Structure 1
Amino acid sequence: MKKFTLGTLAFGVFLASACQNTNGQNAEAEKLAKEAIEIHDEIMPQVSAFNKHEILIDSLLQNLSVLKTVDANIDTVETREKFQTLKTNLESATDKMMVWMKEYAADSTDVNYQKAEVERISDLKTEFEQVKYEAESLLASFKK
């Protein structure tokens, strides 16, 4: 009888420690998921601004000859390349955000997965900041 009781007690202690470990991992995974969503929520509103920038770029590309009449010193070939590169960068950042949102599993309890996703969305935030700066720099003189 004592063996059964000691064995049962040992098994109970084992289960309790295993549950605490799992709960600790779940808590860490939830914390990381919250961090990933916070970063997402911070940069997601920029997608709308990026779309507006793309519309402005399309308009400017269609009217390069008008820009040349306003500023005879403008190099239309170089300007076209800059606009096209910026538009590609804006589209790429937006597409990456859409892919991240589609693929991200916020309810995952895998700590390593959540760490990787925080890193992934943080890298995307850096890209968004860079593209935002490029857009503001290039388009500032063309906005009314």
Structure 2
Amino acid sequence: MKKLAFLIASAFAITSCANSSKTNNQDDLVKIQKETIKIHDEIMPQISAFDKSVVTIDSILTNLGAIKTAKPALDTTNSRQELTQLQKKLDDATDHMMDWMKDYRSDSTTLTYANSELAKVKTMKALFETVSKEKQEILNKY
């Protein structure tokens, strides 16, 4: 009888731990997913600003001759290269976000996937911050 009581108590303890672990994993999963979407929501509004900046860069590149007239010291070769590179970085950052959104599986139930996606959006946020800072520095010259 003591053995039976011990086995029942052990089985109950193991089941309780397993259920507790599932609950903790589910809580962690939800927390990570919310953080991922929060970071996405911080980055997303920058896309329209990046798109406007690409249009601005196109305009500057088109009118570089007139800008050179107003600013004779301007190195147009260097400016064209710098603006073209910035334009590519803006487009690449935006494309990166669009690709991530297309591939993101919000219905995934694995912590590994959720952590991987959180790492991706954190990296993307850092990229957006770097490109945004560079955009301000370069476009302020014009």
TM over 0.5: yes
Q: Which moved more, 1:16-25 or 1:119-128?
A: 16-25
- Does 2:112 correspond to 1:112? yes
Could you report, residue by residue, the CA deviation over 1:21-62 in whole angstroms, capped at 9, with x for unpaired residues? 112111101100001111111111000000000000001111
The 2-side partners of 1:72 and 1:6 are apart by: 91
The 1-side partners of 2:27 and 2:102 are apart by: 23
Q: Which runs of 5+ in 1 are unaligned?
A: none
- The 5-angstrom pairing of residues 1-144 of structure 1 reads 11=11, 13-142=13-142
The 2-side partners of 1:80 and 1:135 are apart by: 14
3-state SS of 1:72 partner: coil
Contact residue 64 and residue 76 of structure 1 kept, 8 A: yes
Contact residue 25 and residue 109 of structure 1 kept, 8 A: no
Q: Which amino acid aligns with 1:107?
A: D
Could you report, residue by residue, the CA deviation over 1:47-105 in whole angstroms, capped at 9, with x for unpaired residues? 00000000000011111111111111111110000000000000010011111111112
The 2-side partners of 1:4 and 1:99 are apart by: 57
Task: State the number of aligned residues.
Answer: 142
3-state SS of 1:106 partner: coil
Q: Which runs of 5+ in 2 are unaligned?
A: none
Q: Which moved more, 1:23-32 or 1:107-116?
A: 107-116
Q: How much identity, in percent, do the aligned residues show?
A: 37
Aligned-residue CA RMSD (Å): 2.0
Contact residue 61 and residue 83 of structure 1 kept, 8 A: yes
Contact residue 30 and residue 109 of structure 1 kept, 8 A: no
Deviation of 1:110 (Å): 1.0
Could you report, residue by residue, the CA deviation over 1:93-137 in whole angstroms, capped at 9, with x for unpaired residues? 001111111111223221121111111100100000000001101
3-state SS of 2:141 partner: helix
Q: Give me the TM-score of the superposition, normalised by structure 2.
A: 0.89
